[in-house]
């Protein structure tokens, strides 16, 4: 079985994803969050670093867990007590490193969540929209299909039927994608001249944004829309270094 130095792999991922230069929320803590003994032979990938996925990575014999939402995403920096201790204790006991990539992975042009979603539905990407601190995260492009055909494509790609707010045209043409919890960026979709917006989840009042701005909005699931990028990233790294890998699926239904 092939092996690579943890720090060689981390250095490559940091450069590939532009981790040092990409702004993000403080809780993201992008990059290496937990070290191991220094070697990686098998990578596990998952969307969320939680006890269940850490346990599964240990059962799989992984040396590195690559995640989209890292150890500090939900709670921020907290003392290593109770569940936080349990997670870290299991990682150290099984010598598993953790690497996290949030917005840098959403936005990446090749393995990003938005890029993989675009490719999966056949969107011809034309540009970017929806900025965070000066960096555009979302993608938009052209796709001429019916509203219901887009439902079918998303369901086939993600394994779940999206919630559709059908308040735009019956036939979609200019479509924007922003994975995860992107309801606040419906206004950015409108400003970009789009007629259809795909994201993960949204709030109750976002219905009226869609209705009054005459946009179709697809809520395809926060978890579901953020499973594609981490798989593509780990597959890419595994091919480069000849490593084994697997995806740990732990859906939330949200």
Q: Place domain 106-225 in its CATH homologous superfamily.
A: NIF3 (NGG1p interacting factor 3)-like (3.40.1390.30)
* Contact (Cβ atoms closer than 8 angstroms) between residue 4 and residue 206: no
Q: What is the reported pLDDT for 78?
A: 83
What are 20's two structure tokens? 């040092």
Strands of 135-146's sheet in order across = 124-132, 135-146, 171-178, 196-199, 216-219, 163-166
Angle between helix 82-93 and helix 51-60 axes, rounded to 10 deg: 10
Domain ranges of the chain: 4-101+227-247, 106-225
Q: Place domain 4-101+227-247 in its CATH homologous superfamily.
A: NIF3 (NGG1p interacting factor 3)-like (3.40.1390.30)
Helix (H, G, I), strand (E, B) or coil at 134: coil
β-pair partners for 217: 165, 197
DSSP-assigned letters across all residues of 62-84? -SEEEEEE-TTTTT-S--S-HHH
Same fold yes or no, 4-101+227-247 and 106-225: yes
Helix (H, G, I), strand (E, B) or coil at 239: helix
Tens-digit pLDDT profile for the chain (254 aa)? 799 999 999 999 999 999 999 999 988 999 999 999 999 999 999 999 999 999 999 999 999 999 999 999 877 778 889 999 999 999 999 999 999 999 999 999 999 999 999 999 999 999 999 999 999 999 999 999 999 999 999 999 999 999 999 999 999 999 999 999 999 999 999 999 999 999 999 999 999 999 999 999 999 999 999 999 999 999 999 999 999 999 999 999 99
């Amino acid at each position: 079985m092939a092996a690579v130095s943890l720090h060689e792999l981390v250095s490559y991922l940091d450069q590939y994803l532009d981790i040092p230069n990409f702004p993000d929320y403080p809780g993201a803590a992008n990059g290496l969050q937990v070290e191991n003994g220094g070697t990686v032979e098998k990578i596990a990938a998952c969307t969320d670093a939680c006890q269940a996925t850490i346990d599964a990575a240990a059962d799989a014999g992984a040396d590195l867990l690559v995640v989209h939402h890292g150890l500090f995403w939900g709670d921020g920096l907290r003392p290593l007590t109770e569940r936080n201790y349990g997670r870290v204790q299991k990682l150290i006991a099984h010598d598993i490193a953790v690497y996290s990539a949030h917005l840098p992975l959403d936005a990446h042009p090749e393995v990003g969540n938005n890029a993989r979603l675009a490719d999966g539905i056949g969107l011809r990407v034309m540009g970017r929209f929806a900025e965070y601190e000066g960096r555009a995260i979302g993608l938009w492009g052209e796709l001429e299909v019916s509203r219901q055909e887009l439902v079918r494509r998303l369901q086939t790609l993600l394994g779940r039927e999206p919630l559709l707010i059908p308040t735009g045209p019956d036939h979609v043409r200019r479509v924007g994608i922003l994975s995860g919890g992107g309801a606040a960026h419906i206004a950015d979709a409108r400003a970009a001249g789009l007629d259809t917006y795909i994201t993960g989840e949204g709030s109750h009042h976002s219905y009226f944004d869609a209705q009054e701005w005459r946009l179709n909005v697809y809520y395809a699931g926060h978890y579901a829309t953020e499973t594609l990028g981490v798989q593509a990233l780990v597959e890419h790294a595994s091919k480069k270094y000849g490593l084994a890998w697997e995806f740990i699926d732990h859906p939330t239904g949200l």
